[in-house]
Structure 1
Amino acid sequence: MAQRAIREYDAKKMLERLWPAYLGDVAVFGGKAVAVTPLTDWDRLEGENPWLQREKLVVKPDQLIGKRGKHGLILLDADLPAAKRWVQERMGKPVTVGQVTGVLDHFIIEPFLPPSREYYLAVKSDRDGDTIYFSPEGGMDIEENWDQVISIPVPVATNVENVPVAEKLPAGLISQERTFFPPFIKGIFKFYSDLHFAFLEFNPLAVTGNRVVPLDTKARLDDTAFFEVGKKWGDISFPPPFGRPPSKEELYIKELDEGTGASLKLTILNPKGRVWTMNAGGGASVIYTDTIVDLGFAEELANYGEYSGNPSQEFTYKYARTILDLFTREKDPQGRPKILIIGGGIANFTDVAETLAGIIQALTEYKDRLQAVNARIYLRRGGPNWQEGLRRMKEVGKTLGVPMEVHGPEMHMTRIVSLALQERQA
């Protein structure tokens, strides 16, 4: 699973478009929104959305920025001229949020709702399944009031209709809330699951009778599901984290990804990091990344990504070459070995020998540079034709001049990470 954040506007328009299919019998969607970019024609925007001139408005940047209210990045209860002026004063200007500085270029405008009861609702996925989070006390202080949030686990392959949501709700809810929220939460979960979200949060969520408005929404999708549900997603984008424009290598891999039916993903976390990964499979990439972090190497983790869907030898070579080029640019400042983990689960249909052939081609090409950075390579792989693939990898390992360990499915997935990182001060 490659979790990628989407804009609030895109999440809300997706919810609005698919609401009747999942929640049409439960509640009315009360949200409206428009997106504003440097290319926005304000006259056309107003003409197509007359409510902008009738209603009080909320304006905020839509660039994956957290805690916008606490950073003074929300305009409340404004008329259209004030909203337009607020956007124009900030469009294209740098702003610092915490320790990150970026340029504002995307905004979302919505109707302003007077203060009312604010709820919190979220769904999050992890390796054990999904978890629903709910609280009747939502808002910007939710983290400080996390003890009031109840969690409802939904194990893998469990039908949410069989989950006792009503029994898990907080005791203090009134009768109307206890009637409304169980089917509403289940409908949201079905939407979440069917559309392959990895995270979806409404905070706060305004509910008046059966009219629901998500006032603030955060969402991440499993982008490896694009070929399955991309049409339902609609015209969405995956923007880079605020303050970090995509590198030329990330853009190159994105271009490769768009040119194949397979999946090729790359996010550079720390180009000076000592631990790099080249993982086969979205689920495997999450497990390997979590294990590296759990072992205390989060600050040294250089990248996140995956190749999956049976990419050809050529595409795998280009993917591997890109990572190896980044991996071998600089020695570790402290003189320690640099670690490359070539990981993966047990593939269902990917030809392991063919994909490893592409990686072998790249490793051979970068032989001298691998030696120069004192590389150590650890591989674990299984699936169709894995024996031949690992045999070839062991053969090339004898010629690279750097330590390499090669393991098949007999090695536990996370054990290879422990082997690679066991000598922290090596």
Structure 2
Amino acid sequence: RLLAKFIYNLHGFYVDLYFTYLEINPLVVKNEQIYILDLAVKLDSTADFICRQKWGEIEYPPPFGRDAFPEEAYIADLDAKSGASLKLTILNKSGRIWTMVAGGGSSVIYSDTICDMGGASELANYGEYSGAPTEQQTYEYAKTILCLMTQEKHPKGKVLIIGGGIANFTNVASTFKGIVTALQEFQPKLVDYNISIFVRRAGPNYQEGLRVMREVGKNLLIPLYVFGPETHMTSIVGMALGKKPIPKETEVEFATANFLLPGGQSKVPIITLQLIK
């Protein structure tokens, strides 16, 4: 009974502090007393913003057995203070292919596609932003990547892939505003470092997000190509790497959808594609 009560309370402690692993070895019971002689635990680092007051200041070991770059540490700190997900790993600071991808699954797909198309040696970073980050958080994330991109020039210029699948609840227009603000701030350097940008996104308010991105593209004075769900998610990788031709942009008109019509019928949005000559 004593041990059962201890284990029950220990489980509550485990859940309350967001442990992912707990080992007690050995545990000794003597004279109706329980003694923990050694203990090891692992924490769920994504719960840092919830448990920081309970945990205190926790230092996590650096990934891949190396010290984190200052930019990685900065994004990790933003991530720890947010319910959203903000991740950044620098692979090759001298690389010419940079990504700013929405979604963990999408980030893997984009990185795999870049490597499959022969861009592994030039892939500069791996990371993702997801979980409905705020406009300010997305701005900070984008600014960090642009700052890294503009530290070294590349003889062939550089490409930035702003990609993603179809968001479920992330407001694409809001996150894109944060990215646009960062792009405008870095406009002179984008030109100086010969940077081309390829965008593909869909999800809530994506029409407005793509419209804003197209508008700012007219003033950045760099090649900026914007695509929505009419373009396959990874198609922009082939375009960015010069493996596929870049099609003429399409202007997409969207009718307002009335999803709750009388009689339980639904109306599908009408999408009209028109090539801009």
TM-score, L = length of structure 2: 0.69
Tell me what 1:288 maps to.
110
Equivalent of 1:48, from 5, 30, 37?
A: 37
* Partner residue, 1:405: 225
Residue of structure 2 in register with 1:360 after alignment: 180
Tell me if 1:241 matches 2:61: no
Secondary structure, in 3 states, of the residue corresponding to 1:278?
strand
Match of 1:269 among 64, 67, 91: 91
The question of 1:350 aligning with 2:173 is answered no
Shift of 1:15: 5.5
Go from structure 1 to structure 2 and tell me whether the alpha carbon gap of 1:303 and 1:369 turns closer, same or farther (over 3 Å shift). Answer: same
The counterpart of 1:415, out of the listed 235, 251, 256, is 235
Residue type matched to 1:405 in 2?
Y
Deviation per residue, 1:264-284 (Å, 9 max, x gap):
111001111100000001111
Give CA deviations for 1:269-305 in whole Å, capped at 9, x if unaligned.
1111100000001111111011111111111000000
Aligned to 1:378: 198
Structure 1 segments, 4+ long, off by >4 Å, are 13-17
- Which amino acid in 2 is paired with 1:241? F
- Per-residue deviation at 1:422? 2.0
Alignment of structure 1 residues 10-409 onto 2, 5 Å: 17=23, 48-49=37-38, 226=46, 237=60, 239-242=62-65, 244-332=66-154, 335-409=155-229
How far apart, in 1, do the equivalents of 2:21 and 2:144 lie? 37
Query: How far apart are the structure 2 equivalents of 1:380 and 1:222?
Result: 32
Instruction: From the superposition, tell whether residues 367 and 14 of structure 1 become closer, same or farther in structure 2 (CA, over 3 Å).
Output: closer
SS in 1 for 2:82: coil
Decide whether the 8 Å contact of 2:25 with 2:37 is kept in 1. no
What are the ranges of 5 or more consecutive residues in structure 2 without an aligned counterpart?
1-18, 27-35, 245-277
Distance 1:406 1:222, change over 3 A: farther
Q: How much does 1:240 deviate?
A: 2.1
SS, match of residue 241 in structure 1: helix
Q: Could you tell me how far apart the structure 2 residues matched to 1:389 and 1:267 are?
A: 26
Q: Write the letter of the residue equivalent to 1:48.
A: L
CA-atom RMSD, angstroms?
3.0
Deviation of the 1:330 alpha carbon: 1.3
The letter of the residue matching 2:87 is K
Amino acid at match of 1:307: Y
**Distance change (3 Å), C-alpha of 1:307 and 1:14:** closer
**1:208-227 CA distances to partner (integer Å, 9 max, x unpaired)?**
xxxxxxxxxxxxx997xx35
Q: CA deviation at 1:238?
A: 5.2
Percent identity of the aligned residues? Answer: 55
> Which one-letter code corresponds to 2:103 in the other structure?
G
CA shift in 2, pair 1:376/1:258, >3 Å = same
User: What TM-score comes out, normalization by structure 1 length?
Assistant: 0.46
Alpha-carbon separation, structure 2, partners of 1:14 and 1:253: 23
Deviation at 1:259, TM superposition (A): 1.6
